């Protein structure tokens, strides 16, 4: 077999360099495209699993809500009124018993900034049956009360801490402010304290 190559009429092209440069680029783009396709398929599959879990959880929530509605309907009957009132009374007592005066005062002693003191404290159950603490603190300025609120927010014992109001101290010979603070109290059980 004989090949006639006339370099004068056909310019020499180095196709090897062309395929090395462009072939490598096309190969890298192909690998990148394959990786993106795999990531998209994996994401779609994971989203499908998440949608299934969400629908299962929604079904469980609906089932629990149905059970709760049935139980409330049973407790709402006139013949069960005494039992309902008794159980509500006992639940309120248990919730109030969760408040430890000693633990609350120890925690407040650690959290209380200097030049501020506790004037009054009153635990009570709120509408959601959570134990709320209403307290009045007095000090030279309201900045100390703001600092106390920040410290209480960082504590494990208190949640949703907020200032309800403030007023100038009415005690004769003392200048300062009294600040009303309310917070949800979270009792820490003895088993959690030892950890």
pLDDT tens digits, 40-88: 999 999 999 999 999 999 999 999 999 999 988 887 888 888 888 888 8
Q: How far apart are CA 147 and CA 97, in angstroms?
A: 29
Assigned CATH for 100-193: 3.30.1360.100
Judged on CB neighbours under 10 Å (0-12, 13-18, 19+), 121 is middle
Judged on CB neighbours under 10 Å (0-12, 13-18, 19+), 78 is exposed
Q: How far apart are CA 8 and CA 38, in angstroms?
A: 50
133-187 pLDDT per residue, tens: 898 988 888 888 888 889 988 888 888 888 888 887 666 555 588 889 998 888 7
Residue 118, classed as helix, strand or coil, is strand
Q: pTM for this structure?
A: 0.50
Residue 48's alpha-carbon distances to 69, 83, 99, 121, 192, in angstroms, are 31, 47, 46, 52, 38
Q: How many residues belong to the chain? A: 195
Q: How far apart are CA 118 and CA 104, in angstroms?
A: 12
């Amino acid at each position: 077999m004989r090949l006639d190559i006339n370099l004068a009429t056909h310019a020499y092209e180095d196709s090897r360099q062309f395929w090395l440069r462009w072939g490598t680029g096309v190969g890298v783009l192909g690998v990148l495209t394959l990786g993106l396709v795999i990531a998209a398929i994996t994401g779609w599959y994971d989203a499908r699993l998440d949608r299934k879990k969400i629908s299962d959880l929604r079904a469980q929530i609906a089932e629990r809500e149905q059970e709760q509605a049935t139980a409330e309907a049973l407790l709402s009957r006139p013949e069960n009124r005494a039992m309902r009132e008794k159980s509500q009374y006992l639940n309120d007592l248990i919730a109030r018993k969760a408040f430890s005066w000693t633990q609350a005062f120890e925690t407040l002693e650690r959290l209380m900034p200097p030049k501020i003191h506790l004037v009054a404290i009153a635990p009570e159950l709120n509408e959601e049956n959570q134990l709320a603490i209403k307290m009045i603190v007095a000090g030279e300025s309201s900045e100390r009360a703001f600092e106390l609120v920040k410290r209480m927010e960082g504590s494990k014992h208190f949640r949703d801490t907020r200032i309800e109001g403030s007023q100038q101290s009415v005690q004769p010979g003392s200048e300062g402010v009294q600040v009303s603070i309310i917070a949800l109290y979270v009792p820490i059980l003895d088993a959690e304290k030892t950890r």
